[in-house]
Amino acid sequence: MPLLPAGLLVQQVLPEPDRITILAQPKSPASNCPLCGQTSERVHSRYLRTLADLPWQGRIVALRIQARRFRCATHACPRRIFTERLPEVVQSWARRTVRLAGLQRHIGFALGGAAGSRLALRLTMPVSATTLLGQLRRATSERPGPTTPRVLGVDDWAWRRGGRYGTILVDLERHCVVDLLPDRQADTLADWLRRHPGVAVISRDRAGAYADGARQGAPDAVQVADRWHLLENCSRALLEAVRRRRAEVEAAARPVMAEPTVSAGESPPMTSAERRQWDRWQRGQQSYAQAVRLHRAGMSIKAVARELRIGRNTLRRWLRGAAPELRRPRRSSLDPYRAVLERRWAEGCRNGAQLWRELRDRGFRGGLRVVTEWATRQRLAAHPGRPQSGFAAPPSRRVARMLTADPQALDAAERGYLDRRLATSPPLALVRDLALRFTAMVRERQAGALERWLTDADGSELSSFTTGLRQDEAAVRAALELPWSNGQPEGQITRLKLIKRQMYGRANHDLLRARVLHAA
């Protein structure tokens, strides 16, 4: 039998097949008035109070306590009769002991309402999901407010990606979550900072709302731009520069990126899947031409997007010169086995499944479809009348990666393409040099090189990126001088996503905040 809570005396134990009922009474002969605090021994009446307690050997335990009502000894006290309190056993008006409620509350914090209720039933501590959630909310409302951190990390997280976002606040010195905000508006962050004065450093991403909120709520705090976001913004600006020069990308790729199975000057044949991609690209080109024509005629971006039923960000990218791209073939897992495939094809083996089985015996880890599509291209290449594909140039993202990659990590075809590309486009060569310099400057924390880099980047293809850096120059310079970054908030967001998904995305802000702060 489990030990009883302190202050109770057992009178009788009533075992039953599925539960144990324990009759008990308080040991103390007196009690204090909750209003005036005067001790009284004058018993007015008694009543039975039934409480759920910790289980014993798989059976539910119920405590029946003979509670007493006392007459207050202070004649002037408005509380003439009061019920004795047992703070170590049970809270006022509660129907379960303190220790059982605490254990159920921990289950709720760990698993939430429905899952916690199922586990509690399995542990012979039945409780409804609604009761568990109520316990979590009460525990959160009773806990003291968050302490003000000296170094605060601010980042956003998605209630629903692309639609609704919240804000997570992290103490970067104590490595714990401080609070969750229901949105990512500047006024919300500024109000929190005003209610928690004393923040000296604020690490954030480059969102303008967080910059404004930090400036309004903590004007004396030093703002630090996240270094990862700086590198990501630079990569995005480089990608946009490549997209604006798509025609040069395709012109430079023709002599280099041809399929080895097709003779010089020809294009590889298209499979049915590639034909569908080609048709989608042609429709995109038509929409692109129509969008440019409508915008030049005076229509706004919003009106053009509504007319053509395309996204505004896509339309803005088109109007900046980034035309729709045709999907290009990626590096194939068949490349190490092409010699074997071509030899077996020359020997007369035309069955894709048979070729795949032979390659699998040689260690090939790819699927059957990869081999059968290769065989289909070989058959189409033997029929000159079939439609031909223009899949020659690499996609813009791959070109951007090649521009910033180590040349030793590229193969011969990629190095040849890169040399040709840079030789025919001096502006892109300048952009590549600026991107590499910026990456080295951020990684090596060269704050003194920032002004020179901004000067050299003015007027280049990265001018829009440079303009954003100048608007946030103080935070960028602090990122190159101080050790703080948003790595910790990103890790805490991963934990937050796990907790949110455990509740199937249906948790309110107060419940999600309670569980995240408890996990911290």
Same domain, 263 and 366: yes
Q: Of 392, 422, 448, which residue is a domain's last?
A: 392
Segment 384-398 shows an average pLDDT of 57
How much is the pLDDT for 328?
52
Whether the pLDDT of residue 83 is over 60: the answer is yes
473 lies in some domain: no
Q: Give me the CATH number covering residue 490.
A: 3.30.420.10
Q: What is the secondary structure of 235-261 as a DSSP string?
A: HHHHHHHHHHTHHHHHHHHTTTS--TT
Res. 261 pLDDT band, cuts 50 70 90? very low
Which of 41-45, 224-228, 332-336, 368-372 bottoms out in mean pLDDT, i.e. has the lowest? 332-336
- The residue type at 9: L
Q: Could you tell me the pLDDT band of residue 125, with boundaries at 50, 70 and 90?
A: very high
Residue-wise pLDDT tens digits, 185-197: 999 999 999 999 9
**pLDDT of the residue at 168:** 94
- 50 and 171 share one domain: no
Could you tell me if residue 413 is inside a domain?
A: no
Q: Is 196 inside any structural domain?
A: yes
Averaged pLDDT of the chain: 84
- pLDDT band (50, 70, 90) for residue 388: very low
Query: Tens digit of pLDDT for each residue in 265-310?
Result: 444 555 566 667 777 777 888 888 888 888 888 888 888 888 888 8
**Claim to verify: residue 88 and residue 112 sit in the same structural domain:** no
Q: Among 365, 392, 419, which residue terminates a domain?
A: 392
In this prediction, residue 103 has a pLDDT band, given cuts at 50, 70 and 90, of: very high
| Residue 496 confidence (pLDDT) above 70 | yes
| Average pLDDT of the residues in 426-453 | 91
Compute the average pLDDT of residues 365-380.
81
pLDDT of residue 216: 93
Q: What mean pLDDT do residues 74-88 have?
A: 88
Q: Band of the pLDDT at 382, cuts 50, 70, 90? A: low
Q: Is residue 302 part of a domain?
A: yes
**Do 276 and 374 share a domain, yes or no?**
yes
Residue the block writes with tokens 């971006």: 301
Contact 170, 152 (CB under 8 A): yes
Helix (H) or strand (E) holding 69: strand 59-71
Q: Supply 95's token pair.
A: 């129907």
% of the chain surpassing 90 pLDDT: 33
pLDDT at 171: 93
DSSP code at position 388: B
The Cα 235–Cα 334 span in angstroms is 30
Whether residue 280 is found in the same domain as residue 347: yes
pLDDT band at 215 (very low <50, low <70, confident <90, very high): very high
Tokens of 237: 């600006």
Q: Label each residue of 203-214 as H, E or C.
A: EECCCHHHHHHH
φ and ψ of 55, to 5 deg? -75, 165
Q: What is the mean pLDDT of residues 406-419?
A: 80
- CA distances 77 to 43, 92, 151, 427, Å, are 17, 20, 51, 88
Are 184 and 213 members of one domain?
A: yes
| 304 found inside a domain | yes
Q: Coil, strand, or helix at residue 111? A: helix
Amino acid at position 163, single letter: G
Domain match, 376 and 271 both: yes
As given in the structure block, the two tokens for residue 398 are: 């791959």
Q: How confident is residue 389, by pLDDT bands cut at 50, 70 and 90?
A: very low
pLDDT category at 256 given cuts 50, 70, 90 is very low
CB 285 within 8 A of CB 324: yes
pLDDT in tens, 508-518: 888 888 888 88
pLDDT surpassing 80 at residue 443: yes
Q: How many domains does the chain have?
A: 4
Domain that holds residue 324: 258-392
Pair 271, 370 in one domain: yes
Residue 54 in domain: yes
Partner residues linked to 9 by β-bridges: 25
**Least confident range of 218-222, 273-277, 343-347, 424-428:** 273-277
Same domain, 388 and 262: yes
By mean pLDDT, which of 175-189, 284-298, 372-386, 479-493 is the weakest? 372-386
Residue 3 confidence (pLDDT): 72
- Which whole number is the average pLDDT over 102-125? 91
**Domain boundary pick from 339, 367, 392:** 392
Residue 373's pLDDT band, with cuts at 50, 70 and 90, is confident
For residues 489 and 467, give the distance between their C-alpha atoms in angstroms, rounded to a whole number.
27
Chain CA centroid to CA 182, Å: 15
What's the pLDDT score for residue 128? Answer: 92
Please check whether residues 170 and 123 belong to one and the same domain: no
When mean pLDDT is compared over 254-258, 275-279, 343-347, the highest value belongs to 343-347
Task: Check residue 391 and give its pLDDT.
Answer: 36
| Overall average pLDDT of the 242-246 stretch | 79
267 and 366, same domain (yes or no): yes
In a domain, 428, yes or no: no
> Does 127 share its domain with 90?
no
Residue 209 backbone class (left: φ over 0; alpha: ψ -120 to 50; beta: rest): alpha
In 79-169, which residue ranges form alpha helices assigned H by DSSP?
98-111, 113-122, 129-142
b/e map 321-334, b = 16+ CB within 10 Å: ebbbbbebeeeeeb
What percentage of the chain exceeds 70 in pLDDT? Answer: 88
In a domain, 244, yes or no: no
Selection from 174-188, 243-257, 412-426 with the highest mean pLDDT? 174-188
